[in-house]
Chain A
Amino acid sequence: MSSTSQKHRNFVAEPMGDKPVTDLAGVGEVLGKRLETAGFDKAYVVLGQFLVLKKDRELFQEWMKETCNANSKQSTDCYQCLSDWCDEFL
């Protein structure tokens, strides 16, 4: 967690608008596909889930694991990404 990825920084830098789910840090092509099949095609839908879980790290990561089989690195990145985005824009 010492530094954030370029992807993270890009995402956190601006409002998410209509960005696809793959723009989230930690979500690559594979996870993106899985999320899309589960109905989470846009980043904001994932944000919705994130918010519904009340920004709870544990629950969100568990959810990531369940829905798209994300490993802990991926879900941590994604969580951090959304959480930082919220701090900035929400």
Chain B
Amino acid sequence: MGTTFRDLFKLYDLIQCGESRSVEKFLNETIVDLNIILPCKGIGVLHLAVGIEPLEKSIKCTEIILKHGGDPNIVNDDGLSPVHIAAIWGRVENIKLLIGCGGDPSKRDIDGISAFDYAAQEQQWEVYDYLRNVVDLTDDSFGSQCAFTLDLDKILVTTDQIVAEYEPVTNDQLSRMSVRKSEMVRDWCDKNTITMNKLYPTILGETYLLDNESEPWLDEITKDLNDTTLSYKTCKSKNVEISGIQPLEQTVNKSSEKQRVSVYENFSLPGSPNCVTHVNYNNKSSLKKKSIKKFSFDDDAKEYDKALIMVQNKTNEWLSSCEEKKVFNTRRSSASSGVSSNFSGSIMLANVHEDYKYEDKEENVVLIERRLRVSSIILPVDEGANDPSPDQTILSVASSLPPSMEYDTETLRKELMKLGFKPGPIQENTKTLYLKKLHALKKNPIVVKSNEGKTYSIELERSLRNSDWMNNLAPYVELENKARADFLNPNKKWREGTAKTSFTYLLLDPRMTNNLPGRAGQQDPHVSWVTFVNSIFYVGKGKRSRPYSHLYQALTLWKRDFRQSKDKKVQHILDIWSDQVGVICLHIFQNVIPAEAYTYEASMIDVLGLQNLKNLKSGNYYGVASSWPLKERRMFGLYLLYKAMNIFLSEGERQLRPDDID
């Protein structure tokens, strides 16, 4: 490989001159192995790039080399890695990149000195702080004060047809009342969900939105909103195409004409004397004529009116109570909920998201946290119970006639693979089985394999197969109590002290949970359990002062357009963000001492199995749990996961993403 070194030295010179553009061009055109220590120089190109002057060029070059596959942990003969160099020279930006790409700050050089030590030794406090605060989560002593702010950014109300965005209008009172904000939103949503649920059955029995050209309707809404509300700020409405079915038992005159239903309430604020609750309920003709009042075809409609009155009362009631307390600080003006039925007849109520903005000024981090409301999707059961019948007929249409299937083994395998099923050996005595399987798959193509090739510990596998254990949790509770009691003992000395500032967190993949808390009510808890377990990709321990610090590394890379990282965890987060969704970050077991959080972390990693997670190493046990046999530790972990799921289900999904994707 004579040319390799010629190329490498050329690259070396380019970097030395700091010409980032030529470096990039060179790397795009030439294939070189970047992870070689150059003879004579005694360092690799990444070492060089990290340390050159001036700073901006160094950052640029480091970024380019990392993007082209430079290894941040490459060591030269002295055991020095680029991370060490960055620490010595105080290159904070570089160190962020390096660590984000999988660089190990605790790696020791030949003299046994790590990047931490170098940073301290060379008095590069900026680097040192970064390493302490962000990378090394083992230390709680520093910065226990709140290093972040969390503010309500906007509220999204989505239904099948509409996506409406509401932003709080800034208000002087806002800052003072920040603590109560989330409560208020919750409150607000609760009221609304109740009314939506109440409304639903009657609407269901009556009409379906069938129209694609709903523009007049949308205009109507926007106009109305603007007219009637003072504090209304923004509303983006997006129209989603809906195809619907006519309910079977409707009266004749209805089935021939297309109707639209829109229900929305407008809130106005204390300040305007009368709270206006505005309701439109139109069919097409009345819309044109602008004679918007009410229409009563049958009893349903009357009931509907009743329900509306209730809405009105409720909202008024609530608003007035807010007025009294003077706590109403966010001018959240209106909620609109369009109600429709999609083809399968399953009912979607409005989903409410809250977006919060998480800011850590010190580390220059902004994340958007999206909280999906759990309760808004709960379906009414009382009056609506007998209504879903139309769609069931559709589901049962699928015939069970076996088609003539003449496949040879190869095509059969290919077909099965195409449908996402991995067949075993197809032999004489398995072929018919696979043919049947294929047939079944074709009929019902959505197969959710229980655990995509992951094998968990025996305890967890067993729990995934069979839900009986959920009914008898006593042995688990006992284990937990034992562990907990030990950590409460004040006389013991624990690692990192006894300040109750830690928590354990799980990172979940939203592409797999798919708003699990919203669905959980309608499905078997066991199904939820399987989904939950499969979606976990990281278990970690955090501290209260910076609850989202575990996303900082990924964010640093994201901002610089990296989509690859050698660090498995960071890579996974980047993948999720690339798919336009946020990482679900589930904080559990808040306010425990560090040792306890470590123990929880360790037992959960053990039960899930390190190979199924993006964690690099398994955790450490402390206290009484460290003397338990593996089986008990895993049982403990299993129970903790179970508790975590319950927290998740009641808390709702919270997705975290950078502020530049939407």
Contact = CB atoms under 8 A, between A and B. Distances in A.
B468 A2 contact: yes
A67 B433 CA distance: 11
A58 interface: yes
Nearest to A49: B429
A53 B436 contact: no
B143 interface: no
Interface string B457-472: 0100110011010000
Contacts of A63: 429-430, 433
A53 B433 contact: yes
Contacts of B424: 52-54, 56
A67 to B, nearest CB: 8
A78 B604 CA distance: 32
B425 interface: yes
Contacts of A18: none
A52 B427 contact: yes
Interface of A is mostly: helix
Interface string B418-461: 00001111010110111011000000000000000000001001
Contacts of A49: 429
Contacts of B432: 66
Given A52-B425, A54-B422, A87 B468 contact: no
A12 B609 CA distance: 24
A73 B433 CA distance: 19
B433 A87 contact: no
Interface of B is mostly: helix
Interface string A41-61: 000000001001110101100
Contacts of B437: 58-59, 62
A87 B460 CA distance: 12
B433 A66 contact: yes
B466 A53 contact: no
Interface in A1-26: 1-2
Contact of B430 (A2, A53, A58): A53
A59 B434 CA distance: 8
Nearest to B437: A59
Nearest to B425: A52
B430 A87 contact: no
Interface in A58-90: 58-59, 62-63, 66-67, 83, 87
Contact of A87 (B422, B429, B436, B462): B462
A22 B423 CA distance: 28
A14 to B, nearest CB: 17
B433 A62 contact: yes
A39 to B, nearest CB: 9
Contacts of A87: 458, 461-462
Interface of B: 422-425, 427, 429-430, 432-434, 436-437, 458, 461-462, 465-466, 468
Top 8 closest pairs, chain A to chain B, by CB: A54-B424, A59-B433, A52-B424, A62-B433, A87-B458, A63-B433, A52-B425, A53-B424
22 contacts: A1-B468, A2-B468, A49-B429, A52-B424, A52-B425, A52-B430, A53-B430, A53-B433, A54-B422, A54-B423, A56-B424, A58-B437, A59-B433, A59-B437, A62-B433, A62-B436, A63-B429, A63-B433, A66-B433, A67-B429, A83-B465, A87-B461
Given A53-B433, A54-B422, 15 more contacts: A52-B425, A52-B427, A52-B430, A53-B424, A53-B430, A56-B424, A58-B437, A59-B430, A59-B437, A62-B433, A63-B429, A63-B430, A63-B433, A87-B458, A87-B461
